[in-house]
Amino acid sequence: MFYDLNIPWTSKDDPELARTVAFLGELGYNVIALNQTIAGKIPSKIAGIANLIPENPFPDHPSIRFLRRVTIVLDDPSQNYGLASLSNNFDIVAVRPTDEKLLLQACTSLECDLISLDLSIRHPYHFKYKILGQAISRGIRFEITYSASVNESNARRNLLSNAAALIRATKGKGIVISSEARKAMLCRAPFDVINLATLWGLNQDKGKEAIANGPRAVMIQAKMKRQSFRGVIDVVEGGGVPKSAAKEVAKTTISQKAPMKRKTEAGDNDSTVVGTAKDSLQTAESAKLGGETTLGENSETRPMKKQRKKAAKRALSGDAGVE
Amino acid sequence: MVRVKQRYLLFTILYPSGPLSTQTQSTSSKTPTESMKFHSPSPQNLTRTTLASIIRSSISTNFGDWGIGQCGSFAVKYFSPATSTGILRITRENYRTLWAALTYIRELCGQPAVIKVVRISGTIVKAELEAVKLAEEAIRRVKREVRVAKSGGAGGGDRKGVAGVFSGGKSGQPATVVDDDEQDQMVVDIVDSENEDDDDE
């Protein structure tokens, strides 16, 4: 799975954007984030920024998954950016600080998923691990965009020095590489990009991580921020027993009560001990919320109540241990 | 005496702006099938020697005299304009520099182009096998698409595109309509011609 987290959005009818997306699919990318950049004065109600990108902009590419991303250009340190409310409208929230003070602010306090520095220009300050490390420890990643360097030789020089400095300062951790390509001809295949990353000072493994697992972590973290309970517990659909089969399963579990019990004792840390993963997680969440544990809509599962409760408690303690 | 270790880079050239050259050659034929949209035959004037000089100039702009000194001794072992694939040979220490120079190439013969390195291998045989596999995969994709298009009602024109891709650049013949059986024949042709090319070396 390869990710390109930065394709500037123009409009749905733009042939160049459609071609870029088709070309990225041909090159072997699986997930593409369409980016909407907001610069200048931010309106007082930031949540009011409309998402111009439709839910599924290119239905004729079934193999590619599309994300919607917003990039806020930070240029006023006095302004209060309420970025948390933006994440309701967008899949990924990124910021682009324009000076050192704003970079510090972005690293330490702003609620964003990605910091995207413009590396094709010269920066009058050094990147320091003290500042960038704070962002990395909060799970925020740094973005390097390569397409400007393909296009122009001056940008290439700046990118080489800036990317090397950024990689040195972050010790190769928390880097994400994306294209920011406005034309199809500025995109490059994933392994070509990894080779470019080796030129900047990342090794092969870290280069691959910067284009495969790193962006995935950004995507998942943004999703967890948006829809999970305090970014820790999320209800995952799937792995459940179909409704018609639930009755049978309930019967068999009653008859095999003893071995099941032993199993619950054995797998103490495993959250999916008894029943389906979905059920136990749901009970775990409701227990966490302080509500009553409401188990089993249908009467067939009632005999299981005690055991389920036990399992849910175990699952909860397991989660708490992770937390 | 230690033997010199080499790396063989198998690359394909993609044309992101679509097949410009075929449009000017035969305006009657439709554009190629969806999956071959970016895989068009290379222009006629792109040969092994011109390609080598383009790559050398890219090394020189990106890596300067040091780069030319380090990896100017590469060789274009094979290049097929029909499928736009080729194999480069370079010493093992410098293949990343050459690869980066390939990545930074923006256009070939005035046409926007992207060079994608498909495989790095230590022996030329493995690179050849991969090239054959790529060509077979491409033919299979196109065939599947033509079949879908035929059942959908639209066909005919796509066939010409297929023939254009695989017969256009080889001997300079114009694109012709071929049957499925003849396409199978062509797979063998590609294999044979590659082997011949390597015997020449």
On whether both A162 and A222 belong to a single domain, the answer is yes
Both A207 and A253 in one domain: the answer is: no
Whether A218 and A169 share a structural domain: yes
| Domain termination residue (choose one: A172, A199, A227) | A227
Is 70 exceeded by the pLDDT of residue A236?
yes
| A314 and A205 within one domain | no
Considering only residues A226 and A169, tell me which one the structure prediction assigns the higher pLDDT.
Answer: A169
Instruction: Write down the pLDDT at residue B89.
Output: 92
Q: What is the pLDDT of residue A45?
A: 61
What is the longest distance spanned by two Cα atoms in chain B? Answer: 65
pLDDT score at B7: 92
**For residue B114, what is the nearest residue in chain A, using CA coordinates?**
A185
List, in order, residues 6 or more apart from B188 with CB less than 8 Å away.
none
Q: How many domains does chain A have?
A: 2
CB contact (8 A) between residue B37 and residue A199 = no
With left for phi above 0 and alpha for psi between -120 and 50, is residue B200 left, alpha or beta?
alpha
Instruction: Give pTM, 2 decimals.
Output: 0.70
Residue A93 included in any domain = yes
Residue A224's pLDDT is 82
pLDDT band at B174 (very low <50, low <70, confident <90, very high): very low
Q: What is the pLDDT of residues A58-103, one digit of tens each?
A: 777 788 888 888 888 887 777 666 677 777 778 888 888 888 888 8
In a domain, A195, yes or no: yes
Q: Residues A271, A166: one domain?
A: no
CA distance A59 to chain B (A): 15
> Where would I find the H helices in B72-156?
95-103, 124-152
Dihedral of alpha carbons B84, B88, B92, B94, sign: negative
- Per-residue pLDDT tens for B70-127? 888 889 999 988 888 999 999 998 899 999 999 998 888 888 889 999 999 999 999 9
**Residue A188 domain-assigned (yes or no):** yes
Residue A192, H or E segment? helix A190-200
Contact B114 A191 (CB under 8 A): no
Same-domain check for residues A154 and A197 = yes
Average pLDDT over residues A160-166: 89
> Do A214 and A270 lie in a common domain?
no
Q: Considering the domain boundaries, does residue A92 fall inside one?
A: yes
The answer to the question of residue A232 being in a domain is no
Same domain, A125 and A204: yes
Q: What is the pLDDT of residues B21-41, one digit of tens each?
A: 444 444 434 455 666 778 888
Query: What are the φ and ψ backbone dihedral angles of A100, each rounded to 5 degrees?
Result: -65, -40
Domains of chain B, CATH where assigned: 6-200 (3.30.70.3250)
Taking only residues 86 to 125 of chain B, the set having a beta carbon closer than 8 angstroms to any beta carbon of chain A reads: 96, 99-100, 102-104, 106-107, 112-114, 116-117
| Average pLDDT score over residue span B49-53 | 90
Q: List the structure tokens of A151.
A: 């296009």
C-alpha distance from residue B137 to each of A37, A197, B130, B132, B189 (Å)? 39, 29, 10, 8, 15
In a domain, A215, yes or no: yes
Closest CA relative to residue A11, chosen from A58, A48, A76, A43: A58
Chain A, nearest residue to B101 by Cα: A196
Determine contact, residues B163/B22, Cβ cutoff 8 Å: no
The pLDDT value recorded for residue A239 is 73
Q: What is the pLDDT of residue B83?
A: 84
Whether residue A168 has pLDDT greater than 70 = yes
- Triad A119, A121, A125: Cα angle to 5°: 80
In this structure, the answer to whether residues A177 and A256 fall within a common structural domain is no
Query: Is A309 within the bounds of a domain?
Result: yes
Looking at the fold, whether A51 and A199 belong to one and the same domain comes out as: yes
Q: Which residue segment(s) compose the domain that A33 sits in? A: 3-227
Q: Is residue A147 part of a domain?
A: yes
**Does A23 share its domain with A67?**
yes
For residue B90, give the nearest of B70, B107, B110 by alpha carbon. B70
Tell me which chain A residues have a C-beta less than 8 angstroms from the C-beta of B37: 22, 26
- The yes/no answer to whether this complex scores an ipTM above 0.85 is no
CA distance, residue B132 to nearest chain A CA (Å): 19
What pLDDT is stored for residue A284 in this prediction? Answer: 45
CATH number of the domain to which A18 belongs? 3.20.20.140
**Between the CA atoms of A53, A59, A63 and A65, what dihedral angle is there, to the nearest 10 degrees?**
20
Residue A253: pLDDT band with limits 50, 70, 90: low
Beta carbons within 10 angstroms of residue A25's beta carbon: 17
Is the pLDDT confidence value at A193 over 50?
Answer: yes
Do A177 and A307 reside in the same domain of the chain?
no
